[in-house]
């Protein structure tokens, strides 16, 4: 029996198969799933606010090499505490000895990237929906490589 790391078998498998440049979106409860089969979708929601997006991000970052994260511009305005928590989490990780790149885009562009990315040739691996009920509590992790 596995006793540490990501215990959810679907999420562990998804993280294990990610390659350089693949995107994994970790989203709040309200984020829609794509209407196509090109992007794997995992619903971790148990009940309201369980699990929180930040908790899933932290667990995922323990196993996934990340070179960039993408956060919606609206997160800072509408959910400043969540934005602060996201930036704190990201500040604790590096990629090849440098801080992980933090990119911003509008929520509508973020949704388009996540929901249609795999259909327009962007590398995408999956979406993980959490039980979070905080507006704009979404982050995209862009996988890096763990060698020079």
Residue 79 neighbours by CB under 8 Å, 6+ apart? 134, 135, 136, 137
Q: What angle do CA 79, 85, 88 make, to 5 degrees?
A: 140
Each residue's pLDDT tens digit, 80-106: 999 999 999 999 999 999 999 999 999
Q: How many domains does the chain have?
A: 1
- pTM of the complete model: 0.95
Q: Is residue 82 part of a domain?
A: yes
Residue 54's domain is classified under what CATH number?
3.40.1650.10
Alpha helices in 64-106 (DSSP H): 73-78, 80-91
Is residue 31 situated within a structural domain? yes
* 20 classed as catalytic: yes
Separation of alpha carbons 39 and 118, rounded Å: 6
Distance CA 148, CA 136 (A): 34
For 39-57, the pLDDT digits (tens) are: 899 999 999 999 999 999 9
Give the tens place of pLDDT for each residue, 110-142.
998 888 876 666 677 899 999 999 999 999 999
Identify whether 4 is part of a domain.
no
In a domain, 72, yes or no: yes
Judge whether 30 lies within some domain: yes
Residue 102: which residues within 8 A CB-CB, separation 6 or more? 68, 69, 71, 87, 90
pLDDT tier, 6 (very low <50, low <70, confident <90, very high otherwise): very high
Its domain, for residue 117, covers: 9-143
> How confident is the model at residue 37, as a pLDDT?
82
Q: Is residue 70 part of a domain?
A: yes
Whether residue 1 is contained in a domain is answered as: no
């Amino acid at each position: 029996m596995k006793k540490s790391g990501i215990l959810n078998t679907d999420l562990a498998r998804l993280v294990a198969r990610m390659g350089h440049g693949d995107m994994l979106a970790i989203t709040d409860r309200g984020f829609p799933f794509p209407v196509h089969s090109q992007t794997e979708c995992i619903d971790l929601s148990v009940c309201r606010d369980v699990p929180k997006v930040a908790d899933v991000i932290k667990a995922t970052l323990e196993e996934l090499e990340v070179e960039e994260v993408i956060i919606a511009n609206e997160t800072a305005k509408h959910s400043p505490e969540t934005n602060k928590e996201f930036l704190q989490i990201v500040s604790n990780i590096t990629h090849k000895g440098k801080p992980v790149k933090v990119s911003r885009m509008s929520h509508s562009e973020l949704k388009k990237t996540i929901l249609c990315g795999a259909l327009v040739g962007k590398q995408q691996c999956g979406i993980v929906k959490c039980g979070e009920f905080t507006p704009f509590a979404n982050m995209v992790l862009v996988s890096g490589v763990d060698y020079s």
